[in-house]
Structure 1
C-alpha cells in the first residue's frame, strides 16, 4: 500500500527510527519497574501477634509482667488487638506490613494488586482516545499522569486510598505503553516493524530487571514509590518541541494516523522532517505529494473517511464497529480470538511474577532472575516473528510455557530449586508470547481503529491479570500443584487453538481500512 512505500522513500529505518527506538526503550523502563515494585510493596514476611507482656521483659532481672499473662487457657484463634511483629532478614518495610494486611485481612493483599490491573483494564478500554485525538497528545498526557500518580501513591494514610491510587497507576501505564507501541509500528515498514516494536518490551524487562536493586537499597515502600515517581523528571524532554531548522518534536504525530484522519498537510510536514533526518533524497513537499497522489490506496486514505468507517461519527459507536467487525470481516474475528486466549497468557505471566515470594530462595535474587530471563525470551520471540509464521511462533511459545508450568507443579514438593527453574522457563516463554500477541494483533486490524481494537481485545486478557494476584494467594493456601496444573492445562489448550485457527501475517503490510 502507498503509505508503506512512502515510508520506504523517506527512510524506513534511518536516524529518525533509531532515535524513536531509543526514546520508546527509555519510556518502557518505568513500566517494568513498577510491576517489580509491587512484589516488594506487598511483601509479607513471617509474622505473629504482638505480645505486650513479652515486650515488657526487657529487664530480665526485673521483669515487669505477671507470669499468669503467659498462660494459655484455650487454643482458639483470636483477633490481634495490639498489632503484629514481622520477622524478616530482608529489611523490607512494605505497605502490607505498615497497614497490617495479614491474617484475617490477608485477602486484601491480592485485592489491592488486582485493583492495579483493574486500572490496566480500564486503560485498555480507552484505546479509542488515541484513535480520535491522535497518538502523540494521548501518549504525552498519560506519561505525565503515570508519574504523578505513582508519586502520589507514596502518601496514602490508609489502605483504601492506596488502592484507589493504584487503579490510576495501572490505567495511565497501559495507555502510555499502547500509544508508544502503536507509534513505533506506524513509523516503519513491515520488515523493520518487528525490531522497532520490540523496544517497548525489552525496556519493560530491563525495568523489571533493575527493580530488585531499587528495592534492595530503598527498602521503605514510601520512598521507593517517591523515587519511581520522580523518575518522571527525566522524561520532561518528551513534552518539548525543539527547533532544528524547522520545528521538530522528539516524538511527532504518526503520519499514518494523520492521513487516516484527513490531516494531509500536517502528515506531509512530518514526513518531510523524517526524510531530512534520515538524509533521504526526497524533494520535499512536491515529491511526497506526487507519491501520495499517484497511489490510489493512499489517496483514498488521505480523503475523508467514509461514513461507515468513520469511528468519530456520533452514530458509529463502538458497538456498531464491533458488529461490523464480527459480522463482515474474518480478520476482526481473528483479532478478538487472538485476545480470547490472552486471558490465560496474562494470568500465568502475572501469576508467576507476583508469586515470586512463594518460591524457594532469596526474594531479591528470584525477582532479578525473573526479569533477566525475559530478555532471552524476547530475543527468541523476535527471531521467531522475523523468520517464522506468526501462528507457529505464537503457539510454540505457549506450548513451552504450558509444559514448564506443568513440570513446576510436579517437582515442587521434591525439588524446590527445579520448580524455580521451570517457573523461570515458563516466564521466559510468556514474555515471548506477550510480544508476539501485540505484533500479531497490530497486523490484523486497520489503522483507523488499530488502537481501539488492540485495547478492546486486550481488555479480555486483563481479566486474567485481575485474577493473577490471587494465584499466589492460592499457592499459599493450597500449595503449588493445583494452581500450576490448572494454568498449564488452559495454556496448552489455547496454544493448540492458536496453531489451528489464527492466520499468518508474516511480512504483510498493515491494513488501512476494514475493506483491506
Structure 2
C-alpha cells in the first residue's frame, strides 16, 4: 500500500505509518467490546416448572408445549407477533386448573427467572441485564465512554505538557492492564468501576498517534498517514468477528484483548517524540537527536535544529485562552454528532437480525470501504466538501433504514451498512482535519477536547438505542438525521486545510478562512483575471483543492 500511495515519502515516514497501523489494530476490540461482552441473546421466561409438569404427564414435544402455555404473545410497533421476552402466565393459576388450552383467565406476571438461548456467556446473561434490569446494559456501555471522556480530559493537557510519546505509551499499557482486570470482576458494581478505568485508556493512543503523524509527516502525505492509522483500526474491527466466534465467553474475550498488549512493549524504543513539540517546548538537544535519527534512517544529511527553531514562532496565548478560542468553533458540535451517529450505528449491530457474526463482518467491510472513500474524497475535494457530502449521505441512510424496516431484514442491513460507510468516512475526515486547524502548543489538548464532545455522543448512544427498542424508533431516527444535516451546514464555516502547513500560533490558526469564504473568493478570483494577477498572495491564501 505504501509503495502504491507513498511515492515521495521518506523511509522514516513509511516506518512511522507502519507502526501507527499496527498500534491501532487493538483499538477496535476496546472501542466496540460491548458488542461482544454485553451481547443480549434471545431470551424468555424460564418454563422449568411447566416443563416438569408436562413431562410428568408424558406429553410429546414437552418443551414447545410448555412454551405455548406459559409465554403470552405480544405485538410490536410494526405489527409483528412474537413470544414475550419478559412476561409469563401465572404458573400457580395454570396448575390450579384454569386449563392449558384457554389462558384468557390466567393472569400475566413478570418473569421469575430467565432462559437465554445459545452458548454465549456475556455480562447480560451472567448479571441478568434484561427486562426490568435492562436499563443497566446501556449504563454499563456508557460507563466505558465516561472513562474515555475522563481520559481525553487528562491526556490532552498531559500530552502538550510532557510530550506525545509518554502519553502514547502510558495510556496504551493502561488500557491493556485494565481490560485484562475487567475479566475477573464478580458483580455489577465492580464491573462498572473497572469499566470506567479501562475506558480512561481506550483509544487515547490512537488519537495521540494521529497527532504524532500530523507533526512528523509532510502535509502532502498526512492523509496517507491517517489512512494507515484507521486501516489498522479497521483490520482490528475485521478480526472481531472470528475472535468473538472463538471466544464465546466474555471473560476470555477480555483476557485475550488485554494479553495482546505484550506485543506492544517494543514501542518504547520504536516510537520517537515529535521534533516539532520538542522545539516548541525548548528541548533543542532532544529534537536534534530525533532529527539525526531520521536522517540516518533516510540516508540523508541531518537537519540543523536551529533552522527549524527560526521557522517556529513563539506561541502568544496560553492553553486556557486557546481552549476558549476553540469553543467558538462549530467543529466541536460536528465531532459530537458524528460520534453519536457512529456509536448508534456500530453498537446497534446486534439488533439488526440475522447472524450477528456476519453483521459484524459486514460492518467491518463497510469500515474498510470507508477508508478508501475518505482518502479518495479528501484527495479530490478537500476536507470540507467531503465531510458535507458524506454527512448528507449518512442522514438519508439513517432515516431510510427506518422507512424500509417493514420490507425485511436485508433492506435494513443494506441501508445500515451504507450509513456505517458514510459515518466512518466523516469520522476519518474529522480526525485528519481537526489537528490541521490549531497551533502546535495546544493542538493535542484541542484534539482531546473535541474527543470529549465525541465521548458525550458515545455516552448518549446506548440510551438512544435503548429508547428505539423500547419505544418508537421513528423519533430517534428523525432526530439523528436532523442533527447530522445541521452539522453538514455548520461545516461550511470551518477552514479548508488541504496541502497547507500546520499553523504554529493562534494568530496563524485564526487567519485560516472559512470554507464558504474560500468558495466565494475562489469564484471571484477565477472570474477576475486582473484582480488575481494584482493580488497573487491573497489568491494563494484562499485556494481550494482542484
**2:69 matched residue in structure 1:** none
Equivalenced residues, count: 464
**1:42 matched residue in structure 2:** 38
Equivalent of 1:236 in 229, 242, 265:
265
**2:153 matched residue in structure 1:** 125
**1:158 matched residue in structure 2:** 187
Q: CA deviation at 1:467?
A: 0.8
Equivalent position SS for 1:77? strand
**1:95 matched residue in structure 2:** 123
**2:77 matched residue in structure 1:** none
Q: Is it true that 1:270 corresponds to 2:290 in the alignment?
A: yes
**1:5 matched residue in structure 2:** none
Alignment map for 1:212-361 (pairs within 5 Å): 212-239=241-268, 249-280=269-300, 282=301, 284=302, 288-289=304-305, 291-292=307-308, 296-298=310-312, 300=313, 308-311=316-319, 318=320, 320-323=321-324, 325=325, 333=328, 336-361=329-354
| Distance of aligned partners of 1:274 and 1:99 in 2 relative to their CA distance in 1, 3 Å threshold | same
Cα distance in 2 for residues equivalent to 1:55 and 1:264: 77
Q: Is it true that 1:454 corresponds to 2:447 in the alignment?
A: yes
Equivalent position SS for 1:262? coil
Equivalent position SS for 2:116? strand
Equivalent position SS for 1:45? coil
| Distance of aligned partners of 1:292 and 1:483 in 2 relative to their CA distance in 1, 3 Å threshold | closer
Work out whether residues 409 and 485 of structure 1, in 8 Å CA contact, stay in contact via their aligned partners in 2: no
Cα distance in 1 for residues equivalent to 2:414 and 2:299: 48
Equivalent of 1:111 in 108, 127, 139:
139
Q: CA deviation at 1:216?
A: 0.6
Q: Is it true that 1:68 corresponds to 2:95 in the alignment?
A: yes
Q: Which structure has the greater CA radius of gyration?
A: 2
Q: Is it true that 1:401 corresponds to 2:394 in the alignment?
A: yes
Work out whether residues 348 and 487 of structure 1, in 8 Å CA contact, stay in contact via their aligned partners in 2: yes
Q: CA deviation at 1:264?
A: 0.6
Q: Which moved more, 1:343-352 or 1:443-452?
A: 343-352
Alignment map for 1:468-483 (pairs within 5 Å): 468-483=461-476
Cα distance in 2 for residues equivalent to 1:41 and 1:58: 35
Q: Is it true that 1:177 corresponds to 2:177 in the alignment?
A: no
Cα distance in 1 for residues equivalent to 2:97 and 2:231: 56
Cα distance in 2 for residues equivalent to 1:466 and 1:292: 42
**1:78 matched residue in structure 2:** 110
Equivalent position SS for 1:43? coil
Cα distance in 2 for residues equivalent to 1:70 and 1:156: 45
Cα distance in 1 for residues equivalent to 2:379 and 2:194: 40
Q: Is it true that 1:25 corresponds to 2:21 in the alignment?
A: yes
Work out whether residues 412 and 480 of structure 1, in 8 Å CA contact, stay in contact via their aligned partners in 2: no
Q: CA deviation at 1:69?
A: 6.7
| Distance of aligned partners of 1:74 and 1:190 in 2 relative to their CA distance in 1, 3 Å threshold | same
Cα distance in 1 for residues equivalent to 2:8 and 2:143: 40
Runs of 5+ in structure 1 lacking a partner?
A: 1-10, 240-248, 312-317, 327-331
Runs of 5+ in structure 2 lacking a partner?
A: 1-6, 60-90, 509-546
Q: Which moved more, 1:381-390 or 1:137-146?
A: 381-390
Cα distance in 2 for residues equivalent to 1:54 and 1:214: 38
Equivalent position SS for 1:510? coil
Q: CA deviation at 1:322?
A: 2.9
Cα distance in 1 for residues equivalent to 2:386 and 2:285: 40
| Distance of aligned partners of 1:70 and 1:463 in 2 relative to their CA distance in 1, 3 Å threshold | farther
Cα distance in 2 for residues equivalent to 1:110 and 1:513: 42
Q: Which moved more, 1:443-452 or 1:14-23?
A: 14-23
**1:435 matched residue in structure 2:** 428
Question: TM-score, normalization: structure 1?
Answer: 0.85
Cα distance in 1 for residues equivalent to 2:293 and 2:117: 59
| Distance of aligned partners of 1:290 and 1:128 in 2 relative to their CA distance in 1, 3 Å threshold | closer
Q: CA deviation at 1:78?
A: 3.4
Work out whether residues 46 and 111 of structure 2, in 8 Å CA contact, stay in contact via their aligned partners in 1: no
| Distance of aligned partners of 1:310 and 1:263 in 2 relative to their CA distance in 1, 3 Å threshold | farther
**2:499 matched residue in structure 1:** 507
1:267-298 Cα distance to aligned partner (Å, 9 max, x none): 01101100110112x1x4xx5146336xx333
Work out whether residues 322 and 442 of structure 2, in 8 Å CA contact, stay in contact via their aligned partners in 1: no
Equivalent position SS for 2:43? strand
Q: CA deviation at 1:51?
A: 4.0
Question: TM-score, normalization: structure 2?
Answer: 0.80
| Distance of aligned partners of 1:37 and 1:322 in 2 relative to their CA distance in 1, 3 Å threshold | closer
Cα distance in 2 for residues equivalent to 1:154 and 1:57: 39
Q: Which moved more, 1:413-422 or 1:209-218?
A: 413-422
Cα distance in 2 for residues equivalent to 1:154 and 1:31: 17
Q: CA deviation at 1:415?
A: 3.1
Cα distance in 2 for residues equivalent to 1:422 and 1:62: 49
Q: CA deviation at 1:213?
A: 0.8
Cα distance in 2 for residues equivalent to 1:467 and 1:79: 29
Equivalent position SS for 2:378? helix
RMSD: 2.3
